[in-house]
Chains A and B, each alone.
Chain A
Amino acid sequence: TQLLEQSPQFLSIQEGENLTVYCNSSSVFSSLQWYRQEPGEGPVLLVTVVTGGEVKKLKRLTFQFGDARKDSSLHITAAQPGDTGLYLCAGGRNTDKLIFGTGTRLQVFP
């Protein structure tokens, strides 16, 4: 069974602070996605990483895929209240079932 562990589970920070969310597994994934989910809505795709060591940037968000393709991180610079939400990592093999992480709930206070 492939499991993805995310840490921390909960994060409450002030606007302007930086943060990093981690996603770890003992299994290798061919790709890893990061999603953000608002309450009562479906997850919205932020990024897909496929190459070991790959780094992708999306404005203030930086995503990294581990060299061994077993782990990933999401770093947010100067967090804003609009970043509040549930962040989910998900690993998969092509379009086979996605294995989701346990989620990190982020609250950014103004």
Chain B
Amino acid sequence: DAGVTQSPTHLIKTRGQQVTLRCSPKSGHDTVSWYQQALGQGPQFIFQYYEEEERQRGNFPDRFSGHQFPNYSSELNVNALLLGDSALYLCASSSLRDTQYFGPGTRLTVL
């Protein structure tokens, strides 16, 4: 049984570019949450998707957007990248009202 998978593993972009990160949830899970983890800090909640709708959002600008597909996989899009967007982006999946399980993350570096 595959756990949460994320792609790509690493990504290097330049300021102003756009990036798309992908997440496949654990089998049986229908909810996907995205977190940003800056170096040396705990993860910060970006948003959560359930039934292809954004269910809850953290304190992140509109440059951060997402999507959930009918197969429950999800994408995180970030537009107009800033140096401060460099971080480990984590996807977590769950069944509604249950524990979240994290993927290995995508390391984004913005130059």
Q: Could you tell me which A residues sit within 8 Å of B by CB distance?
A: 4, 33, 35, 40-45, 48, 88, 90, 94-103
Contact = CB atoms under 8 A, between A and B. Distances in A.
B99 A48 contact: yes
B99 A100 contact: no
Contact of B105 (A4, A35, A42): A42
Contacts, number: 64
Nearest to A48: B99
Please provide the 9 A-B residue pairs with the shortest distance between their CB atoms, ordered closest to farther. A100-B42, A42-B102, A97-B45, A94-B97, A43-B102, A42-B104, A100-B43, A42-B105, A103-B42
Contacts of B43: 43, 88, 90, 98, 100
B74 interface: no
Contacts of A40: 88, 104-105, 107
Contacts of B35: 98, 100
A90 B96 CA distance: 17
Contact of A98 (B31, B100, B104, B105): B100
B29 to A, nearest CB: 10
Nearest to B10: A40
A95 B96 contact: yes
A4 B107 CA distance: 25
Contacts of B42: 4, 88, 90, 100-103
A99 B45 CA distance: 7
Chain A CB within 10 A, most for which of B42, B100, B105: B42
Interface string B35-46: 100001111110
14 contacts: A35-B102, A42-B4, A42-B102, A42-B104, A43-B90, A45-B99, A45-B102, A94-B97, A95-B96, A95-B97, A97-B33, A97-B56, A100-B43, A103-B41
A102 B41 contact: yes
